[in-house]
Structure 1
């Protein structure tokens, strides 16, 4: 038992398969009224986990509108390559969620016993493929060559992209930073009505420039473009470029 727990704690967080992430969402997404003990009171749910892994308040506000909140927290946190399941277990202890601690360990032991988890990936890309293969196998797809080809074609751009899917939006919002307050209100109201909007703030880090990922989002993943026109907006050259691009491709 101790050896199994040691292996589980050493797993990179990005190794968590889809079924385990969804289990954690089922257990942590429901808000808890009573906070943790101690001088720092933390919510004993996904909000407390988000706080412990330093998810920004802006992202937390966005996550609050998502159907699987804990899944989103994990997706953001796993960008830190040093994050492990052991760290997750420590945070669950800090949140007084020993019930989730036990369920997580039991689930991962089951996954590992079935050989469905690559617990020591050589590089992040292989780890990502391991997660996808686990998900694909659960859906009775057995062509490893095909799944690897699909993985190479997958292009994560925003924080909403999951381990094995590209997120699509109702619209991409172009605006000037000076209009941030208005845009925040727009995002909140539109999200409350069920619309999913994307902004440049949703981009994952690592892009040389924002031009390529934003134009790809506009062309392939967004149904509409929303322009927040203002004097400040008109002064930004990149906004002019994106506006003309949207017209050129008839978005």
Structure 2
């Protein structure tokens, strides 16, 4: 793994303080162009993904993408502690100094934009908002107050049994899922996270859903349909959840076959619950409720 030594620019700024999510599109494209191709006797995106902490099965699944490096960056940059400084150190560690040279100009622009944003004055708040009932709690995190029941100051965060990953065309089925599983029909009432119902508007969607999937929801239900295959948001959420549970070791993903499709290769080693076959529907909701009620493996 890469060294933890701080990475600084010529002005002495610590790049380890700059979140990796501020990497711009051009920087990401250049990294993909230079690191996607195989390099005989050298290093490429697979070595960088290993440096980032991804496991073997995750890297094998990244190979299914047209641009694996871009996908790796997309998921890694959403991690809470991922920084531009770490990326620079990892590129040095795999001895891709040529890539560092190539991204130098675009990376400088990304850092400049970050500085501009960081130096922008915060909106003035009235004392009642700043020092109300939680005077010692920071109120600037974008991950506070992201669901309807969240405490906006971050003291109490709403937790769920499962995040439901679905496309808008399958919303009626998801509403039926809520009616079934959030009742006491199959034992204890489950609590599902439904974007259309539970997320507050105006939030950064990908960042918020990554937070919910990783830290707020025990599991994720994936509603499979032809429309699911065409949804970039569903694709991201599934791959992100898979990165948290490589090889389904923690049994976090539960795919539901709502409409008949060929199971995506990423999910072929996970047991799918079938809603398509009429003869299986009698058992469907009980099986799903039982799967969501199990304790998480560690």
| TM-score, structure 1 normalization | 0.49
Higher helix content, 1 or 2: 1
TM-score, normalised with respect to structure 2: 0.43
Higher relative contact order (CA 8 A, sep 6+): 1
